[in-house]
Amino acid sequence: MEETGGVPTQRGVGVIAEALKTMPLSPGVYRMIGSTGEVLYVGKARALKKRVTSYTQLSRLPERIRRMVSETVAMEIVTTHTEAEALLLEANYIKRMKPRFNILLRDDKTYPWLVLTEQHPFPQIAKHRGKMEKGASYWGPFASAWAVNQTVAIMQRVFLLRTCTDSMFASRTRPCLLFQIKRCSAPCVDRISQEDYAHLVTQAREFLSGNDKEIKAEFAAEMERAAEALDYERAATLRDRIRALAQMQDSSVVNPASIGDGDVIAVWQDAGQACIQVFFIRGGRNNGNRAFFPAHTRDETDADVLQAFLAQFYDDKPPPPLVLVNCEMPEETLLAEALSIRRGRKVEILRPQRGERRDVVEHAETNAREALERKMAESAGQAKLLEGVAKAFGLSAPPSRIEVYDNSHIMGTNPYGVMIVGGPEGFERRAYRKYGIKGAITPGDDFAMMREVLERRFGRALREAAEKAGAASASGAGVAGDIAATGGLSGQRLDVATSSGAVGGEETPVTSSAGGRPEGAGADWPDVLLIDGGAGQFSAVRGVLDALGVSGVKLVAIAKGPDRDAGREWFFTDDQPPFQFEPRDPVLYYLQRLRDEAHRFAITTHRAGRSKSLVKSELDDIPGIGAARKRALLNRFGSARGVSQAGLSELEAAPGINRETARSIYGHFHPGWTGG
């Protein structure tokens, strides 16, 4: 930690002072750049010059910010038209660049949505992730796949809409099981007319839009008419649909009737850590909730953490018209303006004081507190295990990142290598990696597979670190694309100003240090590398790491004991003879869990790859048949076998298939055909 007035701190102040000479008073975003080219901090301002000037007044800065100033060697700014636009751009930069002095939202998850297709005569209802496309209606987001799957299941029971794919729909000749259990109206085999099915779709749309009372009344009236006509089977079916509808209608603190579309967001802090709980409410129904644990929140207030979270959370998703929070924020009006730009319509941020809305916010706050307590309890136990790992293998400090490698194949086919990661917060599944083996593998040659995986993993990391260390500062190119990514600033002219941080000719290029941890390497550089194997595997991996110039990483091999007995494993590492842990040692159990998790991930990855190769369609081998034409053929003929049995005239009649393509397809399935 640099002291106030120290040489590095004064050097950083000099960099900022030099940048202030040409800095405008307009709104914009500024970036602090470190010696290896990394972005240290991103901030926004109504008047850039006034805001950045505050960083030269060291006595008024907290220790963390003084440290940031001491590490600053360059500054970059981007001007915007308004402060709200600057806020959107700031959130976009923070999510992409992950500066270590900003509050960071750890959220790279894509949220599931409910989709209703529109381009088919009988629309399908299903779960959807990824980019939204034209020709479909979307509802969401949902907090988890479980939440959206539950909704799809209830929608099936209430509205009897199909969930099958278009190709499966086209190939059906009789109703599937869903029709038998009253979860589908079987439009695939004409058990319902297109007009009646369209009415079901309309009802489903109304329900998802929040008009559930009218739908329930319509069902009740129809049930009474069926009972009066002595059609008791249909009356019972309608009764079951009403009951399923009631499951999604119940109003309580979890399903508030006073909120149509909105998010309920509450923050809770304790012991320097923060948790934010988000409840997604759409159409008056709870679409699930999720806990977030932002990083770098130790010295921040609840309001600052919540404000930073909201800006980043809605950077890549449309905000709802209402956001309920549990504390007031210093720039709440500005944030609401920015979210309104992001949505294209008004967004309101409220802290309710009474009534049902306040109960909902308090419920979210309770969930945030309990989630943080659970996480802190888990982290305390994890910290003790990592201390035990450090003691067992002679590390100077508990490891913050342990990488474990394994591979899987069957006689050399579908070979995959994998990496899993463990750390202070347990398994870090977002850091898991899969490596499809590209080289020719001799059956049983696990050494060659491991060599390729390690060369790809560390070779790439070393190259990226060298490139990062060689860049003194990032260029201003690509700003227009960054602005467009915020969803509200495209097409506007921005001015860019950059100030170099070379002070007194003391700028020193940073390069990758051969034989050690590379300068410029980020937090994804491991402290411990754990592999499954004995002395032979250990020697092979050590040779690969030495050839790449990687050191400073503790290499450990775990070999199964006699008769593959768990609990009697041998451990191999540098500077220590092979050893065993005492039976029932918690550290031994932890290392076994790491190994077993890598093995599980390797097996599931291999199985997924093998299944994908097994279901590869024969249509994939026909020249000129891409994804669109393949889909058209399967929709028309139901399967690859149906395509192979089709005549030339039938192929020519398929959508998107011209005469030449039809002849190519027919010739592929009839090798002796001469084209006559």
DSSP letter at 581 equals P
- Which amino acid makes up residue 675? G
Closest CA to 534 of 500, 569, 485: 569
Kind plus residue range of the DSSP H or E element containing 645? none
Q: Name the pLDDT band for 386 (thresholds 50, 70, 90).
A: very high
- The count of C-alpha atoms lying within 13 angstroms of the C-alpha of 51, restricted to the half-sphere facing its C-beta, is 17
- 394 with 575: CB under 8 angstroms? yes
Domains and CATH numbers, the chain: 8-102 (3.40.1440.10), 112-247 (no CATH), 262-376 (3.30.420.10), 399-462+522-616 (3.30.420.340), 618-669 (1.10.150.20)
Q: Name the pLDDT band for 505 (thresholds 50, 70, 90).
A: very low
The average pLDDT across 13-32 equals 92
Backbone phi, then psi, for 75, in 5-degree steps?
-135, 145
Percentages (nearest 5) of helix, strand, coil residues in the chain? 45, 20, 35
| Cis peptide bond prior to 141, omega within 30° of 0 | yes
Determine the Cα–Cα distance for residues 16 and 21; give it in Å rounded to an integer: 9
Beta strands 402-410 and 413-423: pairing type? antiparallel
Per-residue pLDDT reduced to its tens digit, 268-282:
998 788 999 999 988
Beta-ladder partners of 404: 420, 530
Beta strands 322-325 and 348-350: pairing type? parallel
**Strand runs labelled E in 186-272:** 262-270
Residue owning tokens 């106030």:
4
Beta strands 348-350 and 39-45: pairing type? unpaired
Residue 219 has pLDDT above 80, yes or no: no
Determine the Cα–Cα distance for residues 598 and 403; give it in Å rounded to an integer: 9
Closest CA to 74 of 30, 113, 119, 115: 30
Determine the Cα–Cα distance for residues 245 and 289; give it in Å rounded to an integer: 21
Residue 564: what pLDDT?
Answer: 58
Distance of CA 394 to the CA centre of its chain: 36
The average pLDDT across 565-581 equals 84
pTM (two decimals): 0.65
The average pLDDT across 427-441 equals 83
Closest CA to 126 of 118, 422, 590, 335: 118
- pLDDT averaged over every residue in the chain: 81
